[in-house]
Every structure is written in structure tokens, then in C-alpha cells.
Amino acid sequence: MRLSKPNIQLNAQGKLHHFLTLEGLKHTHLTEILDVAQTFIDPATGEINKVDSLHGKAIMNLFFEPSTRTLTTFEIAEKRLSADVVNLNIETSSTKKGETLLDTLWNLEAMLADMFVVRHNESGAAHFIAKHVAPQVHVINAGDGQHAHPTQAMLDMFTIRKHKKDIFDLKVAIIGDIQHSRVVRSQIQALSILEAREIRVIGPTTLMPSNPDALGVHVYHDIEQGLDGVDVIINVRLQNERMQSALLPSEKEFFNLYGLTKERLKFAKADAIVMHPGPINRGVEIDSEVADGEQSVILEQVTYGIAVRMAVIKTIFDNAQALKK
């Protein structure tokens, strides 16, 4: 599908109407989400507060691709905002019976949906849907093909900010499949917008972008050199299909060359944090000693994902309300 221009997600006041990609957004857009997310976290307990912000709003989660973590955290976030939530079972939906995607959407609109949260295996699907929904309906991209996963990147930024206070001036290393990962694409965009000092990508040549300069990243094929002096380490999942192609060696060989071990972690700063968007392939991308170690914030990412997704949803509805005034 052809991607629409990023500004399709902004309203007449330059505020978020949809949340489809981080491309084209400004520093203020991202910091607003991060600041709103913070308000949902109880400072005393760290728990995510429930609020009555979206009582009467209907949000439909349209996941055309399997998901556990993302779908669950979106559903929890929506319910914590007191919205009415519907998870569409794609396996039994009319799209399996030959109904077009647009016909499905328009029927769901007729059921008075206020927002669609969309996950799809085709790049550009969320943009396509946003172009064809009614003006009062909002769309959030929960991951589309190899294109973008903006809420995952934002919860990663929130996690970094919680531990490092500010993203500005940090050195961040991302290890794994840089070329094909929608998560990495969004992470690099977020880090660039929030002015990280240096973004490093680490992995084999076959998994690197053809034009890294355009992304503003520094490429490393030696993991120890790439980790030298960094503040944040982000591992990303290696997809099984990469292992079955000519793009990667065996899992064992990849771990020997690029797996994050306790010994390799020592090359980073002593207070560096270790992140992973999940699901984790232990013994392939990361050693269990590191994944479960003191510097790991992987489980915190999952918890913060609820607050960040609450913030994205609430910000969009608040913007729509402000536009009516």
C-alpha cells in the first residue's frame, strides 16, 4: 500500500488527530505524550491510575496480525481510561469471508466507533485506514509491516527518560535486525526528534540499512566497539524467517557474534540500562543473566506501555475536543 504523507495525522491546529508514525512529528508532540503518561503513574506506588476520561467513547482494536503484549496493553490502557472496548476477532470476521477491509471499517463505523487501533502485516495499512475513515474517527497504528510501531517507540522513550531524566545527550545502541524492524525504525525517529547525542546500530551487514547516513545512525559490526561508553542498550527480536534465509548465520553463531552477555555489557557505561521490546529470544539476542539482571528494565517497559498508550489515546481525544471549542 502506498503511504500517505505523515501530516495526515495532524488536525488544523497541528495537533495529533491520528497516531500513525513518528515521521514528521515535532519535539513538542513527543514530549506532550511523555508528560501526559507520567500523570497516570502514582508517584507513591508506581501503579497506573484509572480515570474516567473516556466514558462513553468506543475504541475498537483491529489486530490483523498476532499480538499478545501490544493488544493486551492497549486493552488495559483503554479500560483504565473508562472507554468501551471491542477486540475484533479477525479469524471469525467478515474479512475472512471475502468482505473488503473498507467495507469492514465502514460497518464498524456504523456501530459508532470513535477510534480504531490497527495492527496489520502490510506496511501503510494504518495510513490507508486513516485516509478512509470518517472525520470524527481516530486511528492509532499498533504496528504495520516493516514500516512503523510508534507507541512501542514512545514507551521505550518513556522508559529511558524515567531512568536517565532526559534523552538529550545520551548515547544509545540498538542491536539486531535494523533493516527490517518497524520498532527500530520508530525508535530511531523518536531518538532523533528528542535529540539523543548519538544513535548506534549494531549487527551483521545483511541486517543493516543501505543508507545509514539518511537515518542519522552510526553503524557497528563489532558489538564491543558499538557498546563502548553507551548509556542505553536496546536489543530487538530476530525474526525466525531471517534465520531460515541467507541473511543470518545460525542462532548459535549470531549469539556468539552479537548476543548481549554480561561480559559485553561491561563495555557500556556502568549505569547503562538494557531494554528489549519483546518477545525475547533468550540465548539468541540476549543472555538470561542480562535479561534478568539489575540493569534490565524490560518488564518496566511493559508496565510503562500502559501509561504511554493511555497518554496517546487521551491526547488525541483531548485535541479533538479542543478543536470543537
Looking at mean pLDDT, say which of 121-135, 148-162, 239-253 comes out highest. 148-162
Closest to 148 measured CA to CA, from 24, 27, 239, 274: 24
Residue 73 has pLDDT above 80, yes or no: yes
The structure's pTM equals 0.92
Exposed / middle / buried, residue 235 (Cβ in 10 Å: 0-12, 13-18, 19+): buried
Domain segments of the chain: what residues? 6-147+303-324, 150-297
CATH architecture assigned to 150-297? 3-Layer(aba) Sandwich (3.40)
- Helices 150-164/27-39 angle, 10° precision: 70
Phi-psi region of 117 (alpha: psi -120 to 50; beta: other; left: phi over 0): beta
Cα 140 from Cα 130, distance rounded (Å): 9
How many CA within 13 A on the CB side of residue 65?
A: 17
Q: What percent of the chain has pLDDT over 70?
A: 91
Q: What are phi and psi of 139, to 5 degrees?
A: -130, 135
Q: Which three cell numbers stand for residue 278?
A: 519483546
User: Residue 119: helix, strand or coil by DSSP?
Assistant: strand
- Which class would CATH give 6-147+303-324? alpha beta
* Cβ-contact 304, 76 below 8 angstroms: no
Read off the pLDDT of residues 96-124 as tens digits, 9 standing for 90 and up: 555 677 888 888 888 989 999 999 988 89
Cα 34 from Cα 50, distance rounded (Å): 17
Provide mean pLDDT across the span 210-238. Answer: 92
